[in-house]
């Protein structure tokens, strides 16, 4: 398989994993908002929501790490970026896309989309990424004798997820992939998590108990009316 073929063959997989990453973080972010509410501070609902919140963010961290994997043998946005730095790969990719989908007519052009991908990728803070990999290796993916000494903040993870949100958008348009992805999924899943979970933790309305039956089984006596 050519390098251009590698990008086209794996675009859908990257978009799919990026979607799940955004789903996970959006849901975790919505649950975080719910846990920050000051009302009902000792409610029984808080513990299970905290577990779901933690697991959603862990999955988001794991998926960001997968999508930005530095291993040349892995499929990742990093491997796509590395290939797109080669002019010969870019030429081959543009030729293949023209053969499959016709001339490049509508803006932004394919060349512009490639540059957009590069510019978005360059926003990655690699120091934060390094701490994320440390978290993935020692705090999520493996149980090691070594203690975990580095992590990322919620804000730092959010920034990486924001980048992961835009890279598949550009790749989707460039490769004309039919795999579903839109820029608003992060907000949609944040709101959905708050909406659905908010309903489930709402205190039930108190229901009055029905009157007890009389010993004879007859309906309770009612006062006569005029």
pLDDT digits (tens, 9 = 90+) for 51-96: 999 999 999 999 999 999 988 889 999 999 999 999 999 999 999 9
Does residue 224 lie in a domain region?
no
Q: What is the pTM of this model?
A: 0.81
Q: Residue 154 is part of which domain span?
A: 3-201
Does residue 7 lie in a domain region?
yes
SS3 of 145-202: the string is CCCCCCCCCHHHHHHHHHHHHHHHHHHHHHHCCCCCCCCCHHHHHHHHHHHHHHHHHC
Does residue 51 lie in a domain region?
yes
Does residue 103 lie in a domain region?
yes
* Average pLDDT of span 206-225: 46
pLDDT band at 218 (very low <50, low <70, confident <90, very high): very low
% of the chain at pLDDT higher than 70: 87
Does residue 153 lie in a domain region?
yes
Does residue 208 lie in a domain region?
no
Does residue 212 lie in a domain region?
no
Q: Return d(Cα 158, Cα 101) in angstroms, integer.
A: 35
Does residue 218 lie in a domain region?
no
What's the number of domains the chain is made of? Answer: 1
Nearest to 14 by CA among 80, 90, 106: 80
**What is the structure's pLDDT at 217?**
45
Which residues are CB-contacts of 26 (< 8 A; sequence separation ≥ 6)? 185, 186, 187, 188, 189, 190, 192, 193
């Amino acid at each position: 398989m050519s390098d251009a073929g590698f990008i086209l063959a794996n675009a859908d997989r990257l978009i799919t994993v990026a979607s799940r990453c955004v789903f996970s973080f959006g849901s975790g972010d919505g649950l975080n908002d719910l846990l920050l509410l000051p009302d009902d501070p000792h409610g029984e609902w808080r513990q299970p929501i905290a577990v779901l919140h933690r697991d959603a963010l862990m999955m988001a961290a794991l998926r960001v790490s997968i999508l930005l994997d530095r291993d040349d043998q892995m499929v990742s946005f990093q491997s796509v970026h590395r290939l797109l730095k080669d002019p010969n790969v870019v030429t081959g990719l543009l030729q293949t896309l023209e053969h499959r989908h016709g001339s490049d007519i509508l803006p932004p052009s394919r060349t512009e989309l490639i540059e957009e991908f590069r510019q978005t990728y360059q926003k990655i803070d690699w120091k934060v990424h390094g701490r994320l990999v440390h978290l993935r290796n020692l705090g999520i993916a493996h149980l090691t004798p070594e203690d975990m000494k580095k992590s990322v903040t919620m804000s730092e993870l959010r920034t990486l997820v924001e980048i992961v949100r835009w890279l598949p958008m550009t790749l989707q348009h460039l490769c004309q992939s039919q795999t579903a992805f839109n820029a608003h999924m992060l907000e949609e899943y944040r709101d959905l998590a708050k909406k659905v979970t908010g309903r489930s933790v709402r205190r039930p309305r108190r229901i009055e108990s029905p009157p007890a039956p009389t010993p004879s089984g007859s309906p309770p006596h009612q006062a006569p009316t005029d």
